[in-house]
Amino acid sequence: MNLNFYNQLINCIDKERVLVDEPMKKHTTFRVGGNADYFVMPQSAEEVKNIVALCKEAQMPYYILGNGSNLLVGDKGYRGVIIQIYKEMNDIRIEGDRVAAQAGALLSRVGTATLEAELTGFEFAAGIPGTVGGAVVMNAGAYGGEMKDIIASATVLTQDGDIITINKEDLELGYRTSVIAKRGYVVLEAEYQLQKGDKEAIRARMDELKVQRVTKQPLEYPSAGSTFKRPEGYFAGKLIHDAGLRGFRVGGAEVSEKHCGFVINKDQATAADILELMRQVSAKVMQEFGVKLEPEVKTLGEF
């Protein structure tokens, strides 16, 4: 541990919210990953700003984490600072048909809040296992809906250390991308524009989508959701299935038999197992169909 850097960190944020040598398998939905040198949990935009500024000044690598639902951390861990924007920054405020949510709020929590407020439009997102911040960065979508359909604005921390609000038309929301991703901004909060709706109809739609998820996705195993992006004109899961890879394993990692678009941690997989499985799946699909599969899951740290 760099004691000087650690002391500077605990000047930015309470000591109990700074962890040292923290196992990343505790903070990713794959349930794999070695230790991060530092793991911090800011409670405010100001703390995020100060921690990022300190990391830049000290030339210390840093990574912004939500609930770890789209991330594969290497078995040897991460040499730097993980800044987790999650449970310490998860406030949700509703005024009329506008919903403001801090970046650490789970989409499921926002979904519950919008249901109670009888607001429609968020149903598609309520079952996505991620945070508001991650969803905005990658324009998360499911079942025909995307963040771009409902977002009004996002408040972000820029690379220059400024906190600004970007309106929807300037967010450049595309398939799994945004201006935030392109410019390395940090999402602090998002505001959504929804519509008044019928509470029972909203609940019924959420229940319907939940049933689809439970029956079609391998939710009983650790995974990072859809492993690959959707190639134009194709479905990744179907390509993988048609390549004969249903149930294919490397170590403890497996192509789900329930849904071939998911790589799962079937039996104490390592990050290396998962990465190698992804590599072999991509190679086989390219060989069979000439289609390149791009990972949707991000990789971080040392493998």
| 133, pLDDT greater than 90 | yes
- Residues 83, 9: contact at Cβ < 8 Å? no
Tell me what pLDDT residue 101 has. 98
CA dihedral 128, 134, 135, 138 (to 10 degrees): -120
| 106, pLDDT greater than 90 | yes
Q: For the chain, report the end-to-end CA distance as a whole number of angstroms.
A: 21
| 5, pLDDT greater than 90 | yes
**255 — pLDDT class (breaks 50, 70, 90):** very high
Tell me what pLDDT residue 161 has. 97
Q: Where are the domains of the chain?
A: 3-84, 92-216, 236-300
Tell me what pLDDT residue 274 has. 98
* pLDDT, mean over the chain: 97
Which pTM was predicted?
0.94
- pLDDT single digits (tens) 151-181: 999 999 999 999 999 999 999 999 989 999 9
| 1, pLDDT greater than 90 | no
Please state, in angstroms and rounded to a whole number, the distance separating the CA atoms of residues 215 and 279.
27
Pick the CATH number of 3-84 from 3.20.20.70, 3.30.43.10, 3.40.50.1000, 3.30.750.24: 3.30.43.10
The CATH number of domain 236-300 is 3.90.78.10 = yes
- pLDDT single digits (tens) 59-78: 999 999 999 999 999 999 99
Q: What whole-number percentage of the chain has pLDDT above 70?
A: 100
Q: Which residues are catalytic?
A: 176, 226, 296
**92-216: what CATH class?**
alpha beta
